[in-house]
Amino acid sequence: QIQDPKERYKSGVIPYKKMGYWEPDYEPKDTDVICCFRITPQQGVDAEEAAAAVAGESSTATWTVVWTDRLTDCELYRAKAYRVDPVPNTGEGTGQDAQYFAYIAYDLDLFEEGSIANLTASIIGNVFGFKALKALRLEDMRMPVAYLKTFQGPPTGIVVERERLDKFGRPLLGATTKPKLGLSGRNYGRVVYEALKGGLDFVKDDENINSQPFMHWRDRFLYCMEAVNRASAATGEVKGHYLNVTAPTMEDMYERAEFAKELGSPIIMIDLIVGYTAIQSMAKWARKNNMILHLHRAGHGTYTRQKTHGVSFRVISKWMRMAGVDHIHAGTVVGKLEGDPNMIAGYYDTLTKEYVPQNLQQGLFFDQDWASLNKTMPVASGGIHAGQMHQLLHYLGEDVVLQFGGGTIGHPMGIQAGATANRVALEAMVKARNEGRNIMEEGPDILQKEAKWCTPLKQ
Ligand code: CAP
Ligand code: MG
């Protein structure tokens, strides 16, 4: 139970003080950008002072007072740390360093319109190396509507993507081509064809496939699009392959994207490691060219995984919806990678809802109005397979791409059979759910029953 800090001052639990960047009386404006940081001060460092230091360094201040402060409207441009709450079950007697949630408000004029690069240069620019802090984690951000309106968001969005694909009322199915590296273009294309023909909607390049000696990018694009076209013709369905256009320079990325368009691909892919400006550039390109933009979150674990230091993935999700990606890998609840169902629900809501209310259990610290920005489709992958279909549908809902790499290409009867097993399992589970059945309880039975007539699923 966290008391309102203003009450704590009044009751004398903590002494009232106001210093440069610590303003406990401040009422954030509707137009402020607000951050919630988890701070772990060094022994002996006061929590409010640490919060004030973060507010200072991420807005106007440096380590000392400077004469030129007097030449500007410091009161306005200074970020305001206005609330610090102790994190329950940390600090004295728990064997853990004391942690605090520090809330900091930033005036809108501190940021350039529509620029993730500019936003992040302030918010995560210098502060993460502060000596006064043992650790620092950006847990969440409230983006004001006025600021969101300066971003264009996802070029396509979930609604239009479904219309283009002509697929409704169920998760989409995908697979990452495996092995990740080493196949020649022709063999690679064969995997794509088999998986699409067997029932998947999409196949995908892996995060680290660009243009290596065993397969140059043009070859990959040509063989993959041949596979897409053949599979579409054979099944009568719209199919796609996320062509990874990640490359050493922007010029190369544009060249690859143009070629994908020329070949009629509905979708291209980039990796998070290309950087925020490159992502925004590709979003702009995708918008102009009616292309779906898939983002693989390669590299995120280096800063999202630790619970006390780094940037929460829910913040990355917000930045990416603003930057404008149509798909983003957002984790799973089962499989080979870490995933807490509550946190994952928070990420998925952040990506797919118009309005997301505060929900502390899901790590959502603020109400978030998305100002009609398009929605981003979450992608689940990492060691998942058809046998988990009930759990996947239950936890992740229908607006998601379920991606089974090993879970398609590792099927004992072959790639097409792997794809068929996934499609049959999915359709059976969606039907059961629509009939109001409890799929978490009955899921395994539903799969068993379906497997009686579907040998690939039985396998
Ligand atoms: C999955 C995958 C994906 C990760 C990404 C891999 O393969 O291709 O890159 O799942 O993780 O390389 O591991 P499998 P996330 O389907 O064969 O496991 O979605 O969490 O970003
Ligand atoms: Mg991968």
With b meaning 16 or more CB within 10 Å and e meaning fewer, what string describes 101-119?
bbbbbbbeebbeebbbebb
Is 186 annotated in some ligand binding site?
Answer: no
Q: Print pLDDT tens along the chain (459 aa).
A: 445 666 666 665 555 565 678 999 999 999 999 999 999 999 999 999 999 999 988 888 877 778 888 888 778 889 999 999 999 999 999 999 999 999 999 999 999 999 999 999 999 998 998 888 999 999 999 999 999 999 999 999 999 999 999 999 999 999 999 999 999 999 999 999 999 999 999 999 999 999 999 999 999 999 999 999 999 999 999 999 999 999 999 999 999 999 999 999 999 999 999 999 999 999 999 999 999 999 999 999 999 999 999 999 999 999 999 999 999 999 998 877 777 899 999 999 999 999 999 999 999 999 999 999 999 999 999 999 999 999 999 999 999 999 999 999 999 999 999 999 999 999 999 999 999 999 999 999 999 999 999 999 999
Nearest Cα neighbor of 395 from 335, 311, 317 is 335
Mutational test site, ligand 1, from 316, 381, 388, 403, max ligand atoms within 8 Å of CB: 381
Is 294 annotated in some ligand binding site?
Answer: no
Positions of CATH 3.20.20.110 in the chain? 157-458
Instruction: Please list every protein residue whose CB sits less than 6 Å from any atom of ligand 1.
Output: 176, 178, 180, 206-207, 297, 329, 331, 336-337, 381-383, 403-407
- pLDDT value for 256: 98
Q: Whose CA is nearest to atom 3 of ligand 1?
A: 382
- 255 phi and psi angles, rounded to 5 deg: -60, -45
Is 229 annotated in some ligand binding site?
Answer: no
Amino acid at 372: S
Q: Whose CA is nearest to atom 12 of ligand 1?
A: 206
Question: What is the C-alpha to C-alpha distance for residues 358 and 366, in angstroms, rounded to an integer?
Answer: 5
CA dihedral sign, ordered 163, 167, 173, 177: negative
Ligand closest to 379 (CA) is: 1
Is 427 annotated in some ligand binding site?
Answer: no
Q: What is the pLDDT of residues 140-181, one digit of tens each?
A: 999 999 999 999 999 999 999 999 999 999 999 999 999 999
Is 442 annotated in some ligand binding site?
Answer: no
Q: Are strands 240-244 and 267-271 parallel, antiparallel or unpaired?
A: parallel
Query: DSSP 3-state helix, strand, coil percentages of the chain (rounded to 5)?
Result: 45, 15, 40
Which of 296, 327, 375, 385 is catalytic? The answer is: 296
Question: What is the C-alpha to C-alpha distance for residues 37 and 139, in angstroms, rounded to an integer?
Answer: 5
Would residue 411 show up in a list of annotated catalytic residues for this protein? no
CATH architecture of 157-458: Alpha-Beta Barrel (3.20)
Find the 133 Cα to ligand 2 centroid distance in Å: 34
Find the 333 Cα to ligand 1 centroid distance in Å: 13
Which of 149, 167, 178, 261 is catalytic? The answer is: 178
Collapsing DSSP states into helix, strand and coil, what is residue 229?
A: helix
Instruction: For residue 300, give the ligand 1 atom closest to its CA.
Output: 21
Is 329 annotated in some ligand binding site?
Answer: yes
Which CATH code of 3.60.40.10, 3.40.50.9100, 1.20.140.10, 3.30.70.150 fits the domain covering 5-148? Answer: 3.30.70.150
Find the 141 Cα to ligand 2 centroid distance in Å: 28
Find the 377 Cα to ligand 2 centroid distance in Å: 18
Residues with CB under 5 A from ligand 2 (ion): 206-207
Label residue 77 exposed, middle or buried (CB < 10 Å: 0-12, 13-18, 19+): middle
End-to-end CA distance of the chain: 51
With beta carbons less than 8 A apart as the criterion, state whether 189 and 226 touch: yes
Ligand closest to 176 (CA) is: 1
Angle made by CA atoms 107, 111, 116, in degrees to the nearest 5: 130
Would residue 178 show up in a list of annotated catalytic residues for this protein? yes
Positions of CATH 3.30.70.150 in the chain? 5-148
Joined together, the tokens standing for residue 412 give 């004992």
Nearest Cα neighbor of 459 from 407, 391, 401, 383 is 407
Find the 206 Cα to ligand 2 centroid distance in Å: 5
- pLDDT value for 430: 98
With b meaning 16 or more CB within 10 Å and e meaning fewer, what string describes 78-100?
bbbbbbbbebeebbeeeeeebbb
Mutational test site, ligand 1, from 176, 396, 411, max ligand atoms within 8 Å of CB: 176
Find the 157 Cα to ligand 2 centroid distance in Å: 23
Collapsing DSSP states into helix, strand and coil, what is residue 355?
A: strand
ipTM over 0.90: yes
- pLDDT value for 131: 86
Query: Whats the size of the chain, residue-wise?
Result: 459
Ligand closest to 178 (CA) is: 1
Q: Whose CA is nearest to atom 16 of ligand 1?
A: 405
Label residue 307 exposed, middle or buried (CB < 10 Å: 0-12, 13-18, 19+): exposed
Label residue 438 exposed, middle or buried (CB < 10 Å: 0-12, 13-18, 19+): exposed
